[in-house]
A and B are shown apart, each in its own frame.
Chain A
Amino acid sequence: MELLVPEIGLVILQTIAFLLLMFLLAKFAWKPVLAAIKERELSIDEALNKAELAKQEMTRLTAQNEELMKEARNERDLILKEAKALKDSIVHEAKTQAHTEGVKLIEKAKIEIENQKKAALAELKNQVSTLSLDIAERVLRGQLEDKSKQQDLVANLLKDVELN
């Protein structure tokens, strides 16, 4: 039972010591420590909030970028399409032009050929007529050198005339 009886002296000393300890700790330890912990927690919260905001901003920017990319891509497609159309039209035009040009050239060439042909034929006719005259002259000369032959010729000619 002696254990259960508090010693008055120890009670007094313990009270003084404990109150002193509490006062000292409260003033020099708990106050700064709790304040610092609180401050740090607040700053951590703030930092996390900021990070969250930054993340949202990031998402927004990414979305925006995506949008821009899409637009750019569309624009590019459009430009490409236009360019293709332009190209096609140019090529087409060129083709038509070339075609007409070709046709024209062919036409010209045909005419030229025709002309040349005509000239050639004319010349040929001249030549033939000259040659024919030449031959006829020579034949006639040969024929006319010999009397009998002349007669034969006349006879033949007459024969032809008769047939006609």
Chain B
Amino acid sequence: MDCSHVFEFKVNRLIVVFALFLAFFSVTHAALAQADTLHTPASSSHEEPQKKKFDIGKFALHHIGDSHSWHVIGDTYISLPIILYTSNGFVTFSSADFHHDDEAKILVEKKGLTFVKLHEKIYYGSPKPNAHGQFIDLDEKHHASNARPLDISFTKNVCTLFLSIVIILAVFLNVANGYKVRKGKSPKGLQSWMEPIILFVRDDIAKPNLGHKYERFMPYLLTVFFFIWFNNMLGLVPFLPGGANLTGNIAVTLVLAVSTFCLTVFNGNKYYWKHIFMPDVPWWMYIVMVPVELFGIFTKPIALMIRLFANITAGHILVLSLICLVFVFNSLYIAPISVAFAVFIGAIELLVAFIQAFIFTILSALFIGMAIEEHH
């Protein structure tokens, strides 16, 4: 199946939409700036003392970060279990024990150890509170210097991870069942949704990059593609089952990139290694070439890791920031604009969700393909 038309698809129209968006953005920005300057002198004299300034950066970072409780709506939270591997073995308790404290002000004592939560991270608590009532030692940069137990809690991201695995399994076991039931017939239902994408991964990602040995790597490529895509999409859902920034979490992209790295290294043939350690250059160039090539083995997966993380995180921050414009300007009249922009960015994010999954998979296939390529 040739899917290259997906990328040429109405490029011109897209450009027009982007141009309009950018035009609007600059205009409204100017207008808002004007409105802001007009408003501030009048309002600042009355309201500023009691109004706390809305910190958009902190808000966005809080939302894209991991969390030990899952926010449902308003003041309703689902408390998630905390699992710690400490010096005294495994310790488990509910995050409700912290009573929504995120400033290390509440000590939880389990198995003779005390724990505090600071910015969604669990630390061993200090015996005495500091000047702000926090049971933690902060250095001059406000970084905690307490030791941390190994935290394998089922955080928001972990729950999303499990949920996405359940969804992916449900979808593809259903699809696989479709092939069993309708053996040799045309696909139907969910099967016909997924088959073009599976074929896309096979024919446009695996085959061109991996050659005739593509079949060995299909399970990895398909899994990684659908894992990233489904989780990107799930991250775009603003309410409960979604909303976690899983594929925008560096730990997750690290694992995915390391998987590609391992496949590349363990499947590399003699030509690949020869290319790295004995490239076809004069021997005195080896001083430069070998370190560069060795470095290249690592930069490729690191680029994969950073690319996915940055793209998804950036998308989340962008949507959050646009929504936060309402709070920044403290005016309801901004709402239509910020919602319109958020919808537009959301639409682009849908595209990005697919494209990032595609890019990660095609680059993985490319790296593996470089490692297993036969030279004649």
Contact = CB atoms under 8 A, between A and B. Distances in A.
Interface residues of A, number: 34
Contact of B219 (A10, A11, A30): A30
A38 B165 CA distance: 26
A34 B169 contact: no
B45 to A, nearest CB: 37
A7 B249 CA distance: 9
Interface stretch (B106-114, B148-156, B234-242): B148-156
Contacts of A36: 179-180, 183-184
Contacts of B255: 11, 14-15, 18
A29 B184 contact: no
A10 B249 contact: yes
A120 interface: no
Question: Top 9 nearest A-B pairs by Cβ distance?
Answer: A26-B219, A36-B179, A6-B251, A29-B172, A10-B251, A9-B152, A9-B151, A22-B223, A14-B255
Interface string A25-49: 1101111111011011001000000
Interface in A79-115: none
B126 to A, nearest CB: 20
Q: Say whether chain A's binding surface is mostly helix, strand, loop, or mixed.
A: helix
Nearest to A18: B255
Nearest to B220: A22
B157 interface: yes
Interface string A1-19: 0111111111111110110
A10 B220 contact: no
A51 interface: no
Interface string B153-170: 101011001100100110
Nearest to A13: B158
Contacts of A37: 179, 195, 198-199, 202
A12 B152 contact: yes
A24 interface: yes
A57 to B, nearest CB: 25
A61 B151 CA distance: 78
Given A3-B64, A9-B152, A25 B184 contact: no
Contact of B165 (A5, A20, A29, A34): A20
A26 B227 CA distance: 13
Contacts of B155: 9-10
B368 to A, nearest CB: 15
Contacts of A39: 184
Interface in B92-143: 119
Interface in B37-68: 61, 64-66
Contact of A34 (B184, B215, B259): B215
27 contacts: A6-B250, A7-B66, A7-B151, A8-B150, A8-B151, A9-B151, A9-B152, A9-B155, A10-B158, A11-B255, A14-B252, A17-B161, A17-B165, A18-B227, A21-B165, A29-B172, A29-B175, A30-B172, A30-B218, A30-B223, A32-B179, A32-B180, A33-B176, A34-B215, A36-B179, A37-B198, A40-B184
Given A22-B223, A30-B222, A9 B176 contact: no
Contacts of B172: 25, 28-30, 33
Interface of B: 61, 64-66, 119, 150-153, 155, 157-158, 161-162, 165, 168-169, 172-173, 175-176, 179-180, 183-184, 195, 198-199, 202, 215, 218-220, 222-223, 226-227, 249-252, 254-256, 259, 313
A13 B152 contact: yes
B261 to A, nearest CB: 13
Contacts of A40: 184
A33 B254 contact: no
A107 B297 CA distance: 129
B195 A25 contact: no
Contact of B223 (A2, A14, A25): A25
Contact of A14 (B151, B183, B219, B251): B251
Contacts of A21: 165, 168-169, 223, 227
Contact of A25 (B64, B150, B168, B251): B168
Contacts of B64: 3
Contacts of A34: 198, 202, 215, 218
B162 A17 contact: yes
Nearest to B249: A10
Nearest to A12: B152
